[in-house]
Structure 1
Amino acid sequence: MFRLSNNLVGILNFITFLLSVPILGAGIWLSHRASTDCEKFLEKPLIALGVFLMVVSLAGLIGACCRVSWLLWVYLLVMFLLIVLLFCFTIFAFVVTNKGAGEVVSGRGYKEYRLGDYSNWLQKRVNNTKNWNRIKSCLYDSKVCQSLTEKVDETVEQFYKEQLSSIQSGCCKPSDVCGFTYVSPTNWTSTNGATYTNSDCSLWSNDPSVLCYNCQACKAGVLDNLKRDWKKVAVINIIFLVFLIIVYSIGCCAFRNNREDNAQPRWKPYP
């Protein structure tokens, strides 16, 4: 009769195996149907995650239920490495998102964002041309500025009261320091012959496909959004870490049971 720890490991890995099927299916579906860079970016991680979960859950399921000690040992080794990696990533996420915040502007409902306020590691990621081109493509495909382009009749007073997201503030309008004249939320007139200390001012375009997607403020807005998302992920990781440690402990008990059961003779010779 199987012991409780073996049953628990078997049940948990069976559930994990079932979860891996739709994840793998989503990755395969995206590989055939993806039409944007954002979707194509997700296809390989989803396939890799689905295959990983499927293989590991099968190893844990067979190792616990069929008393295959070496498979359960491999399962526990992978679990241990996963716990270590997740712990390191959680600490890293808290460290790189510790710096940076939006700057409150008087009389504005939104904040202004500066790239230099964020960690050097994050700055290097968005300053990489290849990375930023992918991010810009995702921003354009997700239509983050579309809600502003539709408000053509909004007055400047109404616009200044808008609660813009960090990405909208950095990418969909020029920085306030540029002093541009407001026409509509995504249409601003610059002063002829003016010189600007902020390089973003010369990068602004009223073209809906350009706007301020090449601005440093846009990169800062993306990092601010990323910072908040990573902090949420880090908190979830802590909860997941506790769960993994509990499962790992149960798995160790199941491994010990396997060794004890395999050490016992299957039959006893007659005297």
Structure 2
Amino acid sequence: MAALNREDKRDQKDEDKAGSSRRLVTQSPSERREQTSRNADNTDDRASSTSTSSSKGKGRSKSKPTGAEVIRPKPVDDASAPAAPSVLRVETLTGYGAAKDWALGLKADIADYLGGELAWSQMSTRLLLSGPPGTGKTTFARALCNTLQVPLVVTSVSTWLQGEYLHDVLDRMADTFAEARRQAPCILFIDEIDGIGQRAPASRSYSDYWNACVNKLLELLDGAIKTDGVIVVGATNRPGEIDEAIRRSGRLETHIEIPRPDIPTLAGILAHHLGSDLDAVTASDTQIGGQP
């Protein structure tokens, strides 16, 4: 289709050039000079308009930053190679249970999607990840980025709330989702999503402000559903503080809790971080030349 469109454009340009040549041949010298002058004026107007529009666009970009950070995945050439564990991936994580199963299932689904065997709407691409502080929710997002080999767009509710006025906050939210769509396929990671709060009755102070924020997020999540390639992961320490509508089907419908690690999990975490140094750390005094 792209090749046919290019051919159509070339044919149209050839016809326009031919028509212009025919007009110049049949015109008198004075008519040709007048036509050339009009064309030059039109070109100047278009250039001026383009320059003005470009400067306005740059101004908007600088005055309204999203605050989101885009992290590129680290390449993994061979998952079975000894050096592979040095790249943080879901496959190397310990203690993530259902979250790890969800991620590996998504990896398989994306392969089927790219092969044309599965529609994006049939995949589980919305996740609410909860757990106590320090249980590795952000680590999971970075590992998922490397496992899926897609960019990670990182933001947080506190970043959105840095806007001075309500419309600035809502613009930051919308611009973040727009950035995710530009990066697609990608992961949009929203940290501390409980900061968005819950919709409040009109009698409560500042209810209009917080209700507008919640409603905007609901709108954006619904919009992201219609965009292939956007995976949304929200992280929170307090899942009960999130509006129920955000967690309903079609939005962050899959909720997985990461518990505090037990002893076997802690051993696996230490093994992951120590890597090749593990044997030296666990060696006895006798093995390293000490007295028996």
TM-score in terms of structure 1 length: 0.24
Task: Choose between structure 1 and 2: higher helix proportion.
Answer: 1
Task: Choose between structure 1 and 2: higher strand proportion.
Answer: 2
